[in-house]
């Protein structure tokens, strides 16, 4: 049985380093024309042939929705899957702040090159230059496309698009639709997708969860899904498979992700041979509403834009238990302004998060749990007047009050960092193809563009760039150059994949132990937060690498999943996802342990500058770490992709 | 606080279903769904089946959560989805009745989970602008007045939850439909297909089993995103223009 626990022959952390992994698809030469040259080099599929070519897309978020619609328009036969009841509910819907594009409508010195530069630097020099440059180029087409779809972006009185500056960059390049940019962009993609469903080019499978990848002769040829209503296990075959299944932040249990976000699609592909790159690169967002108790099921993000006018502080004195309004200004520690006078409250996310953790570690945190800092609008209200603050942030203040019961116009908000985004993901080449031929990965599920830290408003850009513009072009090359024979329904690889899904479902249902899936997930999340969160140390990571397999073993012996497999069974769905999170968690800790440097969202306690800032080690770690699966609990093999920086020269970030 | 819940339990789409009483211990900081999580953990450990309900973002934006709480879709708090409703609005000893969204076009799948696929069908009939990827002019080629963009946004804000349908005595989806027609109808990009769109979407709405609108206004009261009732007036005006005045130029 695939999921029975086997004893570990080699210590998990004694990994070996294998052959380097190389991006063979990306052209060299001048970076400005690489994408153009790649597009020209792509072999085209005869339009008449497209109709007979089948592509599976797992995911209906910005990446999957945009890819499905565009591939449908191009004439392919597309099957699209999502676990929600409608593709419109993909987690992209929740993105608030905005989407970057190098339009330079403001004439403030923005350009494709500047967006490229900012993204490579913001990613702390752990992303591939070619991909990032392409992303910056395409960013402009995205805005055009979305406007043409009728996306109601914010506008100025003259009727032109409004922009704002976001996430510590000095130009105003972020397009937005109130605090609901993700919603409006996703509805644009969703509507384009529904149009193709109507036209018959795309078949939609909502409430279908992908549980296995089918690999035949080394190529991705299909997936096995479970119909979440009937429980039926189904086979879907195709010429190519696209995973656009989102990020894995929910490995921490508490995160700003939607409850259903999971790693299963990516992890199943990883187990079948797709390398998983930089799993430990996680983004922790500084401004989220703090945990209020053990019942907490998810965390809510408060838009980063609040830091434009809000001031972050904690009491200077240890054990000061006065209410925030009773603490005079000179007894408050505005710690971001103190430590980073140049950027103040606007330092990048990773820095703001770590500074908040530091003051809470010193026991100066606020709120019932001591895990919180104030975000205060007192000065802003005095300076601008309440109506101006209301106009800018009214909806966010309301949301805060709805959740906490406190009025932020009167009492400062309490915020704390929370897991928000995962930069790591399946390794892909310039064409977005994974190490399994015919398996493409788009959006947050791949590792491609953000290096060790993602800039605000860049995930939406990447999801739509991948989905609308990159993947529909590059996948044609694979289809045109590989004339694939149809795979019979009863091919041994198909039967094996189905059997492994059946076995897993059956095992989970038969354990009938004494603990719920959620209780395991919470415990796993706590381990990850404590040891693989904002600050990681060798000691902590080794401890996590002991605790995780122990807990995983208990899970497989003691989890209780009620009901049957032949019905809507939400406990069973969760159990399958948590089972995969266990394996991912172990890999994340190993990746974090092996990367003995601090970079971006990955802060190793051992690798600091004398004044406590992150110290990168380019000589030893200037690569993307792509891991090969060798068996559950068994040491994986590391493949390095050496990163070259021909254009943006690595420098140490400084925000002092 | 101790609460007495009466929850609709229904095994599958053919089961008749019934109300079942439960007691649950809640905390005032919990959201309504976290209170149900607590109930479910208790049920699982007691060897019972947990209550199935749809949810995902738990931030009031994905539109997945869908419960009728004490007779009101999404419960008593104005402009708030079920997932954003918090238990501090309840007190010790309260009884709460929880049922699925009910409507002819939304069959129950299990417990509190219903099938809202009919909404997607309505969008398929024309809830889009027909532009292929790659064919767009520069975003600034067509200015859009701020007023129109804001009005469009207010309608585009619809999360597709279906509370309007559940609240309507006729099970009509006119508010949902009007919201999409207003979103696209306010934008210049939506004009070329405006009249064709309304006819096709109304037709599909009726075929999908949604009822007719008799202007009760219950939909707008229940809507967590405060979609204004006047989107239905816009729907009616456009429909009239498209049909009576024969403005339907294609198809
Ligand atoms: C609260 C919040 C705010 C954010 N704000 C911003 C912002 O302002 N700007 C910005 O740029 N980014 C923002 N982000 C990040 C951004 O929203 C995401 O990175 C991005 O939307 C991911 O898109 P995606 O298409 O890759 O995946 P998703 O939108 O997560 O879609 C994943 C899809 O895969 C499907 N799926 C997953 N697993 C399976 C499976 N096993 N079987 C079948 N289907 C499956 C799901 O059903 C879904 O359709 C924010 C994120 C959060 C959490
Ligand atoms: S109109 Fe309101 S109630 Fe109806 S689906 Fe949209 S958001 Fe929900
Ligand atoms: S769970 Fe997303 S709106 Fe309630």
Q: Which residues contact A546 (CB under 8 A, 6 or more apart)?
A: none
pTM assigned to the model: 0.97
Q: What does the alpha-carbon distance between residue A62 and residue A650 come to, in Å, rounded to a whole number?
A: 31
Ligand nearest to the CA of A425: 1
Q: Which residue intervals of chain A bear CATH 1.20.58.100?
A: 492-619
Q: Which residues contact A568 (CB under 8 A, 6 or more apart)?
A: A228, A229, A231, B12, B52, B109, B110, B113
Strands A54-58 and A77-81: parallel
Q: Which member of A148, A297, A300 has the closest CB to residue B33?
A: A297
Q: Is A288 helix (H, G, I), strand (E, B) or coil?
A: strand
Listed by start position, the domains of chain B span 2-109, 116-129+143-243
Q: What does the alpha-carbon distance between residue A445 and residue A424 come to, in Å, rounded to a whole number?
A: 8
- Please tell me if the CB atom of residue B232 comes closer than 6 angstroms to any atom of ligand 2: no
pLDDT in tens, A12-39: 999 999 999 999 999 999 999 999 999 9
Query: What is the mean predicted confidence (pLDDT) over B144-168?
Result: 97
The full DSSP string for A363-381 is T---STTS--EEEE-HHHH
Residues flanking ligand 3, CB < 6 Å: B 55-58, 60-65, 81-83
Closest CA to A206 of B156, B120, B109: B120
Closest CA to A90 of A258, A212, A322: A258
Whether B27 and A295 lie within 8 Å, measured CB to CB: yes
Distance to chain B for A565, nearest Cα, Å: 13
The DSSP 8-state label assigned to residue B190 in this structure reads G
Whether B110 and A567 lie within 8 Å, measured CB to CB: yes
Query: In this model, does residue B245 exceed pLDDT 70?
Result: no
Check residue A7 and give its pLDDT.
Answer: 52
Closest CA to A401 of B224, B68, B77: B77
Query: In this model, does residue B116 exceed pLDDT 90?
Result: yes
Query: In this model, does residue B23 exceed pLDDT 60?
Result: yes
CB contact A391 to B (< 8 Å): no
Closest CA to A278 of A597, A523, A647: A597
CB contact B224 to A (< 8 Å): no
Q: Which member of A195, A260, A469 has the closest CB to residue B128?
A: A195
CA distances from A443 to A87, A421, A582, A623 (A): 15, 12, 23, 21
Distance to chain A for B92, nearest Cα, Å: 18
- HSE of A276 in the Cβ direction (CA atoms, 13 Å)? 30
Q: Decide which of B200 and A655 is more confident.
A: B200
Looking at CATH, the fold of the domain delimited by A285-420 is given as Flavocytochrome C3; Chain A, domain 1 (3.90.700)
- Please tell me if the CB atom of residue A97 comes closer than 6 angstroms to any atom of ligand 1: yes
Q: Which member of B38, B50, B184 has the closest CB to residue A150?
A: B184
Tokens coding B231: 């989107």
> Where does the pLDDT of residue B246 fall: very low under 50, low under 70, confident under 90, or very high at 90 and above?
low
CB contact A446 to B (< 8 Å): no
- Cβ atoms of residues A564 and A622 within 8 Å: no
Q: Which residues pair with A614 in a beta bridge?
A: A608
Check residue B35 and give its pLDDT.
Answer: 98
Please tell me which residue in A89, A128, A349, A498 is annotated as part of the active site.
A349
- CB atoms near residue A321 (< 10 Å): 8
Ligand 1 atom closest to the CA of A225, numbered from 1: 42
Strands A413-422 and A282-288: antiparallel
Model ipTM value = 0.97
Q: What does the alpha-carbon distance between residue A345 and residue B213 come to, in Å, rounded to a whole number?
A: 51
CB pairs under 8 A between A and B: 215
Q: What does the alpha-carbon distance between residue B249 and residue B241 come to, in Å, rounded to a whole number?
A: 11
Distance to chain A for B9, nearest Cα, Å: 13
Ligand 1 center to B76 CA (angstroms): 30
Q: What does the alpha-carbon distance between residue A94 and residue A128 come to, in Å, rounded to a whole number?
A: 28
Q: What does the alpha-carbon distance between residue A501 and residue A499 come to, in Å, rounded to a whole number?
A: 5
Integer Rg of chain A from CA: 24
CB contact B76 to A (< 8 Å): no
Q: Which member of B61, B77, B80 has the closest CB to residue A94?
A: B61
Q: Which residue on chain A is closest to B81 by alpha carbon?
A: A402
B12: which chain A residues are within 8 Å (Cβ-Cβ)? 567-568
Q: Which residues pair with A351 in a beta bridge?
A: none
Check residue A394 and give its pLDDT.
Answer: 87
A519: which chain B residues are within 8 Å (Cβ-Cβ)? 41
Q: Which residues contact B238 (CB under 8 A, 6 or more apart)?
A: B181, B185, B194, B195, B198
Q: What does the alpha-carbon distance between residue A33 and residue A545 come to, in Å, rounded to a whole number?
A: 45
Ligand 2 center to A295 CA (angstroms): 29
**Which residue in B32, B62, B208 has the most chain A C-beta atoms within 10 A of its own C-beta, making it the best mutation to test that interface?**
B62
- Cβ atoms of residues A416 and A354 within 8 Å: no
User: Strand runs (DSSP E) across A258-342, as ranges?
Assistant: 276-277, 282-288, 311-315, 332-333
Note which residues in 512-541 of chain A have CB less than 8 A from chain B: 514, 516, 518-519
CATH of domain A16-281+423-480: 3.50.50.60
Whether A469 and B134 lie within 8 Å, measured CB to CB: yes
Q: Which residue on chain A is closest to B115 by alpha carbon?
A: A85
CB contact A103 to B (< 8 Å): yes
Q: Which residues contact B244 (CB under 8 A, 6 or more apart)?
A: none
Closest CA to A469 of A53, A69, A25: A69
Q: Decide which of B127 and A10 is more confident.
A: B127
pLDDT in tens, A219-266: 999 999 999 999 999 999 999 999 999 999 999 999 999 999 999 999
Low-confidence ranges of chain A (pLDDT < 70): 1-10, 168
- Cβ atoms of residues A537 and A605 within 8 Å: yes
Pick the CATH number of B116-129+143-243 from 1.25.40.10, 1.10.3720.10, 1.10.1060.10, 1.10.10.10: 1.10.1060.10
Closest CA to A499 of A228, A216, A262, A235: A235
Q: Which residue intervals of chain A bear CATH 3.50.50.60?
A: 16-281+423-480
Whether A296 and B34 lie within 8 Å, measured CB to CB: yes
Note which residues in 210-269 of chain A have CB less than 8 A from chain B: 229, 258-260
CB contact A94 to B (< 8 Å): yes
Check residue A9 and give its pLDDT.
Answer: 56
What ranges in A512-652 are assigned the alpha helix state H? 517-531, 538-558, 570-594, 618-621
**Which residue in A89, A196, A204 has the most chain B C-beta atoms within 10 A of its own C-beta, making it the best mutation to test that interface?**
A89
Q: Is A653 helix (H, G, I), strand (E, B) or coil?
A: coil
Ligand 1 atom closest to the CA of A255, numbered from 1: 53
- Please tell me if the CB atom of residue B179 comes closer than 6 angstroms to any atom of ligand 2: yes
- Cβ atoms of residues B95 and B2 within 8 Å: no
Ligand 1 center to B64 CA (angstroms): 15
Q: What does the alpha-carbon distance between residue A150 and residue A138 come to, in Å, rounded to a whole number?
A: 19
Whether B116 and A86 lie within 8 Å, measured CB to CB: yes
CB contact B93 to A (< 8 Å): no
pLDDT in tens, A297-313: 999 999 888 998 999 99
Q: Decide which of A486 and B249 is more confident.
A: A486
Q: Which residues contact A551 (CB under 8 A, 6 or more apart)?
A: A520, A523, A524, A527, A582
The DSSP 8-state label assigned to residue A444 in this structure reads G
Q: What CATH class does B2-109 carry?
A: alpha beta
Q: Is A213 helix (H, G, I), strand (E, B) or coil?
A: strand
Closest CA to B158 of B226, B56, B207: B226
Q: What CATH class does A492-619 carry?
A: mainly alpha
Sign of CA dihedral A643, A648, A650, A656: negative
The DSSP 8-state label assigned to residue B98 in this structure reads E
A349 is catalytic: yes
Q: Which residue intervals of chain A bear CATH 3.90.700.10?
A: 285-420
Find where tokens 């007045």 sit.
B145
Q: Helices A129-148 and A34-41 sit at what angle, rounded to 10 degrees?
A: 80
Distance to chain B for A216, nearest Cα, Å: 32
The DSSP 8-state label assigned to residue B8 in this structure reads E
Check residue B248 and give its pLDDT.
Answer: 47
Q: Is A391 helix (H, G, I), strand (E, B) or coil?
A: helix
Distance to chain B for A556, nearest Cα, Å: 17
Note which residues in 579-638 of chain A have CB less than 8 A from chain B: none
User: Strand runs (DSSP E) across A1-112, as ranges?
Assistant: 16-17, 54-58, 77-81, 99-100
Q: Is B250 exposed, middle or buried (0-12, 13-18, 19+ CB in 10 A)?
A: exposed
- Cβ atoms of residues A449 and A131 within 8 Å: yes
For the sheet containing A219-227, what is the strand order?
Answer: A208-216, A219-227, A233-237
Q: What does the alpha-carbon distance between residue A381 and residue A413 come to, in Å, rounded to a whole number?
A: 14
């Amino acid at each position: 049985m695939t999921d029975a626990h086997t004893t570990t022959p080699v210590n998990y952390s004694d990994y070996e380093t294998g052959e380097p992994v190389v991006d063979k698809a990306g052209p060299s030469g001048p970076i400005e024309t690489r994408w153009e040259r790649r597009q020209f080099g792509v072999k085209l599929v005869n339009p008449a042939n497209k109709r007979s070519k089948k592509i599976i897309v797992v995911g209906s978020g910005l990446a999957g929705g945009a890819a499905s619609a565009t591939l449908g328009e191009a004439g392919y036969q597309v099957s699209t899957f999502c676990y929600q009841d409608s593709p419109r509910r993909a987690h992209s819907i929740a993105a608030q702040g905005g989407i970057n594009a190098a339009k330079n409508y403001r004439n403030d010195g923005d350009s494709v090159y500047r967006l490229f530069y900012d993204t490579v630097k913001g990613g702390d020099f752990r992303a591939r230059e070619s991909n990032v440059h392409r992303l910056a180029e395409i960013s402009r087409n995205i805005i055009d496309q979305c406007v043409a779809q009728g996306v109601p972006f914010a506008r100025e009185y003259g009727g032109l698009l409004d922009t704002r500056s976001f996430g510590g960059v000095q130009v105003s390049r972020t397009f937005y639709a109130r605090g609901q940019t993700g919603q409006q962009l996703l509805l644009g993609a969703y509507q384009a997708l529904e149009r193709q469903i109507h036209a018959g080019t795309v078949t939609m499978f909502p409430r279908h969860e992908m549980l296995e990848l089918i690999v035949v002769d080394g190529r991705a040829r299909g997936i096995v899904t479970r119909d979440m209503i009937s429980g039926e296990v189904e086979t879907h075959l195709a010429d190519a498979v696209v995973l656009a299944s989102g990020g894995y932040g929910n490995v921490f249990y508490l995160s700003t992700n939607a409850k259903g976000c999971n790693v299963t699609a990516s992890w199943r592909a990883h187990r079948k041979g797709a390398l998983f790159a930089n799993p430990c690169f996680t983004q922790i967002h500084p401004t989220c509403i703090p945990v209020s108790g053990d019942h907490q099921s998810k965390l809510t993000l408060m838009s980063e834009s609040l830091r434009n006018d809000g001031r972050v502080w904690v009491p200077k004195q240890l054990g000061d238990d006065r209410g925030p309004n009773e603490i005079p200004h000179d007894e408050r520690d505005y710690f971001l302004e103190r430590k980073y006078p140049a950027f103040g409250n606007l330092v990048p996310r990773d820095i703001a998060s770590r500074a908040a953790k530091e003051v809470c570690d010193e026991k100066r945190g606020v709120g019932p749990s001591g895990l919180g800092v104030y975000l205060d609008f007192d000065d802003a209200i005095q300076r601008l007047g309440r109506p101006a603050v209301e106009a800018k942030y009214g909806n966010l203040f309301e949301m805060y009050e709805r959740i906490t019961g406190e009025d932020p116009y009167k009492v400062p908000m309490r915020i704390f960092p929370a897991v928000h985004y995962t930069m790591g993901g399946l390794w892909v080449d310039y064409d977005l193809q994974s190490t399994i031929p015919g398996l493409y990965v788009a959006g947050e599920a791949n590792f491609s563009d953000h290096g060790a830290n993602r800039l605000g408003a860049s995930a939406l850009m990447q999801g739509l760039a991948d989905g609308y513009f990159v993947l529909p072009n590059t996948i044609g090359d694979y289809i045109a150059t590989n004339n694939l024979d149809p795979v019979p329904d009863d091919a041994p690889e198909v039967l094996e994949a189905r059997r492994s899904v059946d076995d897993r479902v059956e095992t989970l249902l038969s354990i009938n132990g004494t603990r719920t899936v959620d209780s395991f997930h919470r415990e796993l999340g706590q381990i990850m937060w404590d040891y693989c969160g904002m600050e990681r140390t060798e000691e902590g990571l080794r401890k996590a690498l002991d605790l995780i397999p122990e807990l995983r073993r208990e899970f497989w012996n003691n989890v209780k999943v009620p009901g049957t497999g032949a019905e809507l069974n939400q406990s069973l769905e969760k159990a399958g996802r948590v089972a995969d999170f266990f394996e991912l968690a172990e890999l994340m800790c190993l990746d974090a342990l092996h990367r003995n440097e601090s970079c971006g969202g990955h802060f190793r306690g051992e690798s600091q500058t004398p004044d406590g800032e992150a110290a990168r080690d380019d000589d030893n770690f200037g690569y993307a770490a792509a891991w090969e699966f060798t068996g559950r609990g068994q040491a994986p093999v590391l493949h390095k992709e050496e990163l070259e920086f021909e254009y943006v020269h690595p420098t140490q970030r400084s925000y002092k | 606080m101790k609460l007495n819940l009466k929850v609709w339990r229904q095994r599958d789409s053919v089961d008749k279903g019934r109300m079942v009483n439960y007691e649950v211990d809640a905390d005032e900081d919990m959201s309504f769904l976290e209170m149900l999580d607590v109930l479910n953990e208790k049920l699982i450990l007691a060897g019972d089946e947990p209550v199935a309900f749809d949810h995902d973002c738990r931030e009031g934006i994905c539109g997945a959560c869908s419960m009728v709480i004490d007779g009101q879709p999404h419960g008593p708090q104005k402009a708030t989805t079920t997932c954003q409703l918090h238990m501090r609005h309840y007190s010790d000893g309260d009884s709460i009745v929880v049922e699925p969204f009910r409507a002819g076009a939304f069959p129950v799948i299990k417990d509190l989970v219903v099938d809202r696929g009919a909404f997607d069908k309505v969008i398929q009939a024309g809830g889009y602008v027909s532009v292929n990827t790659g064919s767009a002019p520069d975003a600034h080629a067509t200015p859009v007045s701020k007023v129109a963009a804001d009005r469009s946004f207010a309608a585009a804000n619809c999360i597709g939850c279906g509370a309007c349908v559940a609240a309507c005595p006729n099970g009509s989806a006119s508010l949902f439909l009007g919201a999409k027609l207003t979103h696209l109808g306010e934008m210049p990009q939506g004009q070329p297909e405006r009249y064709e769109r309304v006819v096709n979407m109304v037709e599909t709405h009726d075929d999908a089993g949604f009822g007719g609108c008799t202007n009760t206004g219950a939909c707008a009261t229940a809507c967590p995103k405060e979609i204004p009732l006047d989107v239905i007036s816009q729907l009616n005006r456009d429909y009239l223009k498209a049909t009576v005045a024969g403005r339907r130029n294609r198809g």
